[in-house]
Structure 1
Amino acid sequence: MLRPDLLLQPTPKGLYCPPGDFYLDPVRGAVDRAVISHGHSDHARGGHGKVLAHPDTLAIMACRYGANFAKSTQALEYGETVEINGVTVWLAPAGHILGSAQVVVEHKGLRMTFTGDYKRRFDPTCATFEPVENTHVFISEATFALPVFRHPDTGHEIDRLLQSVTDFPERAHCIGAYSLGKAQRVIRHLRLAGYDDPIFIHGSLEKLCAHYQSVGIDLGTLILATSDDTSKAAREAFRGKIIIAPPGAFEGKWAQRFPDPILGFASGWMSIKQRAKQRGVELPLVISDHADWDELTDTVREVNPEELWVTYGREDALVRWAELEGRRARPLRMVAYDDEAG
């Protein structure tokens, strides 16, 4: 069997496959051939030569970077295989956001599974994570790889938001949520919980929400909260309403149109009270698109690889846990990825 370090190698640009001559999620400079796990900008950049990804990821990249974000693209459905210079590549659902995928790379009897970012809990906006059997090397993210991170039930957090809307009908609820994946997930969970009122969104969410709607994910009535009307009547219309925008949008002039706002933030980092306090968050919602500590460790046990590679986050803690379980593990120490959205 081929040695793992001959099939995938950590480099400053990302994981590189020498026999296949392609990169996984390269983010430092353009490359000739890239396989992209999902559409977040810390994993998917424009300007590459050839890009292989799930159809939804390609559509999301087109929304964000324009139709010509790569010289050529190839869509790969979950479970479909392709050969790249003799290396077999296929995708399995990662459960992170719409189109997110684990990238499975096989060559000379060796199977390596790169998770990208993933989570295990229910998400009504994307395919559920599927463990890849017979994985020799499992390459796991580690965004929340500390025992302190144990995320509550998503429904519980949505109920907290709805209760606040009921308790404070005179105030606008301004919820910060990452523009791709998190915002659409929060909206869909609100709909499933029975919230049928129009939801106001920042203009930066419009294209992405439209794509989610186009593939059958019902987000209900969405209204752009981008009017230049600063009259008292326009301001009063937001009372008792939910407004969703990228977190940074609520820190500037745009947010001043909302009356007596309750600022919320949907992120796994909201379990750290000091972070919420520093950002002036009155309603911290612990809703994460990443696996928490229990999900990470349970997944490693379920996949049961011969070797664990760890990247993107708290690498040392997950490696140490694996070693205490008698598992072979190593940190990759690759480029820093943006885990702020959580």
Structure 2
Amino acid sequence: MGVMSNAKAENWPGNWVETRPEGLYVRPGGFYVDPMRPVDRAVITHGHADHARPGHRAVLATSGTLAIMRARYGEETGQARQALAYGENIRIGEVEVALHPAGHVLGSAQVSLTWRGARLVISGDYKRRRDPTCPAFEPVPCDVFVTEATFGLPVFRHPPDTEEIAKLLHSLEVFPERAHVVGVYALGKAQRLIRLLREAGYDRPLYVHGALQALCDLYEAEGVPLGPLRPALAAEKEAFRGQIVLAPPSAIADRWSRRLPDPLTAAAFGWMRVRQRAKQRGVEMPLVISDHADWDELMQTLEDVGAPEVWVTHGREEALVHAARQRGIEARALSLVGFEEEGQ
């Protein structure tokens, strides 16, 4: 954007965005982005619980994120709630705020903040590949880019989603007598996996753990068709042979999954790239399907946004900071606490 030639200029984002115990605070606007404890005014990037917490007095987010928060927190979502559409601008205090698609889950957004001609963009969690359940990530040119780094190591290069789905469907053909139980997060991963299966031609009913149902219903209500779903407790044991059952990660390892016939356990997470982690969790079929950018996508994003300065948070910060500096980008780690990594 060409406004940051003097790093000590008053409008440099480092002079008006600061890290506090509550999280990132935007001083000329008097609000926080994804605060980790209740505050007066919060802008929320997406509905995962480590970013969208209950108890704020006023909340600004996309309509999709607000719907997710209402489903999870009810009246604790916030005393005042304001929905902002992608690309719409609003002024909070002295700061111009806009939300742009992040491609992470339904309603997920990057937060663009502009003050006195300088723009800072907070990515929240994001991915760069296509997701049939939410709009694709849109690079936003800025002076400072705050990026996640969940998979900020060169070893993390996610395979095409279609290959992982094909692996699951092939296993169904090879082991038709076994129930295939797949560990997925209730928000985002479950619905994305369902849509990917539908796009691959799997039109049979899918069985879902009760913990997933409410958010699947919400996605349907928000215009994301998921096809026929059945409660995972609504059939006799033998009826699950040759079927796909979706459940939270915790359910795979406990007695819940043992009621299924000869269960073949799978898990759909970016961390499944680490085979030792899959083995430790008793996962027979790791599916590397992530809702976060991998290393190549992080590098591509730094190039696309063109920010001369990058702040890195919640993930493998050191490697990404080093790589950014090698590319002539000023970079530092924010070292925010309270954000969970995928698969934890």
**Over 4 Å off, 4+ runs:** none
Aligned residue for 1:237, secondary structure, equals: helix
For 2:302 and 2:84, how far apart are their aligned partners in 1? 25
Query: Which residue is equivalent to 2:302?
Result: 300
Between 217-226 and 260-269, report the one with greater CA deviation: 217-226
Q: Could you report, residue by residue, the CA deviation over 1:189-226 in whole angstroms, capped at 9, with x for unpaired residues?
A: 00000001100001111111011111221100001113
Q: Which amino acid aligns with 1:42?
A: D
- Alignment-derived partner of residue 313 in structure 1: 315
Instruction: Give the alignment's Cα RMSD to 1 decimal.
Output: 1.1
Q: How does 1:142-291 map to 2 (within 5 A)?
A: 142-227=149-234, 234-291=236-293
2:124 maps to which residue?
A: 116
1:43 aligns to 2:43 (yes or no): no
- The CA distance in 1 between the partners of 2:127 and 2:256, in whole Å, is 32
Specify the SS of the correspondent of 1:51.
strand
Q: 1:27-66 residue pairs with structure 2 within 5 A?
A: 27=36, 29-66=37-74
Residue segments in structure 1 that go unaligned for 5+ positions in a row: none
Partners of 2:253 and 2:282 within 8 A in 1: no
Structure 1 distance, partners of 2:221, 2:154, is: 39
Distance, in Å, in 2 between the alignment partners of 1:191 and 1:63 is: 25
Of the three residues 9, 28, 35, the one matched with 2:18 is: 9
> Which residue of the partner structure matches residue 334 of structure 2?
332
1:69, distance to aligned residue in structure 2 (A)? 1.9
Residue 318 of structure 1 aligns to which amino acid in structure 2? L
Q: Distance in 1 between matches of 2:76 and 2:342?
A: 28
In structure 2, distance between residues paired with 1:101 and 1:10: 20
Deviations 1:281-306 (A, max 9, x none): 00100000000000001110111102
Partner of 1:97: 105
Whether the 8 Å CA contact 2:120–2:146 is kept in 1: the answer is yes
Q: 2:84 aligns with which of 47, 67, 76?
A: 76
Which position in structure 1 is the counterpart of 2:143? 136
Please say which of residues 122-131 and 330-339 is displaced more in the overlay. 330-339
User: Aligned residues: percent identity?
Assistant: 55
Give distance in 2, aligned partners of 1:51 and 1:6: 24
Measure, in 1, the Cα distance between the counterparts of 2:242 and 2:170.
Answer: 12
CA distance in 2, matches of 1:121, 1:23: 28
The Cα of 1:128 is off from its aligned counterpart by 0.1
Gaps of at least 5 residues in structure 2 are 1-8
Cα distance in structure 1, aligned partners of 2:107 and 2:223: 13
Give the Cα–Cα distance (whole angstroms) in 2 for the partners of residues 336 and 314 of structure 1.
15
Distance of 1:69 and 1:140 partners within structure 2? 25
Number of aligned residues: 335
- What is the alpha-carbon distance in structure 1 between the residues aligned to residue 77 and residue 51 of structure 2? 14
Partner of 2:240, secondary structure, is coil
TM-score normalised by the chain length of structure 1: 0.96
Shift of 1:68: 4.2
Given that 2:182 and 2:246 are in contact with CA atoms closer than 8 Å, whether structure 1 keeps it comes out as yes
1:120-176 Cα distance to aligned partner (Å, 9 max, x none):
00100000000002x000000000000000000000000000000111000000000
Cα-to-partner distance string for 1:57-82 (whole Å, 9 max, x where unaligned) = 00001111124421110000000011
Residue type matched to 1:334 in 2? L
Structure 1 position 341, deviation (Å): 2.8
C-alpha distance in 1, partners of 2:17/2:240?
51
Query: Is contact 2:122–2:145 with CA below 8 Å preserved after alignment?
Result: yes
